[in-house]
Structure 1
């Protein structure tokens, strides 16, 4: 099993940032990081019977508040890549799992005052999903609610 759990954020607006260097770092880490790791390990997984490739994404793959525009764009790109990799790697027997979560109780979310998923709880959900051949983990109520609302009007997410 290979787990891509890259995550950095700059809390920057793509429309007003003085330059895009921070956004490039966010994209390099949160999008190109998982792409590069997947490219390196997909052949090894295939040679060893398939295995699983797990990409830890974010509820912000689906939401893009201005203050997280760069992070949201990177995670949305990673979600799209996850879906593409799933199709491409299925024939070699590799399960590709996309994991969506709002806030996880890590240093990156230490400033957030609100519900957070414990890392060990999310890890348990991921292992259960891999064991059961599930391609997606919605790790918390926020992710389940947002995913359910994706078919509705876009303006519903602008709160």
Structure 2
């Protein structure tokens, strides 16, 4: 996909990676970018091509309304997410469900609502921002890791289902980025701008999966091996 003159929609556009996606899309010549957030009045973009739009992943009516308004969209970037820090065994069950409702069900609802919109506009593309934690878990990430794992394989599933209508589906995986959601993490972090750059370069190249950083590449490589040495190494690296 060439971003020039495309109409895009970005969820969670108020800060972090979502905000950087909006800026990168504008830099690459998008004609319109629907920047969505639960509180769109707080968005601050100084560009007439940006259209603030209300969208809450936990509110299916808001997703349907957004799809009705943004009817010319050709690219959907599913970026919005949360990190509750809930553990699976002893954590608050409502927080665990909120993670799954956000990352899996909410993201899937966006795809289900915008799938027909993309089909009507010639196919287009969907980008799902995932995580290296789709493939492993660490202390304090139980709920987040489980939800991102579900979102990762959901991405694979919808890719197959939407291929027939000409819609390209890309998964983007990264470790920690320098954003608010990773504020409590003391390890190395990539620049949030690297994520949309890698993703949009991947769209141009036809890459269905984009690995943004070396950390995530290392995690993916480990998946074909015995997990015991990998988790021993993670314990050492994370100090857990």
Normalised TM-score (structure 2): 0.64
SS of 1:125 mapped into structure 2: helix
Q: Which runs of 4+ in 1 moved over 4 A?
A: none
1:112 & 1:66 partners in 2: Cα distance? 12
**Aligned pair partner of 2:145 in 72, 82, 100:** 72
Deviation at 1:66, TM superposition (A): 4.1
* Higher deviation after alignment, 115-124 or 31-40: 115-124
Unaligned runs of 5+ in 1: none
Deviation at 1:30, TM superposition (A): 1.3
1:149 & 1:117 partners in 2: Cα distance? 21
Whether the 8 Å contact between 1:6 and 1:33 is mirrored in structure 2 is no
Which is higher, the Rg of structure 1 or of structure 2? 2
Partner of residue 64, structure 2:
none
Deviation at 1:6, TM superposition (A): 2.2
- Asked which structure has the greater RCO (Cα within 8 Å, sep 6+), the reply is 1
**Aligned pair partner of 2:121 in 48, 58, 72:** 48
Partner of residue 12, structure 1:
86
**Aligned pair partner of 2:216 in 130, 135, 143:** 143
Spell out the pairing of 1:28-107 with structure 2 (5 A cutoff).
28-107=101-180
Deviation at 1:65, TM superposition (A): 2.2
Deviations 1:8-40 (A, max 9, x none): 1121211112x3011111111111111011111
More helix by share: 1
Count matched residues. 158
Whether the 8 Å contact between 1:12 and 1:66 is mirrored in structure 2 is no
Q: CA RMSD in A?
A: 1.1
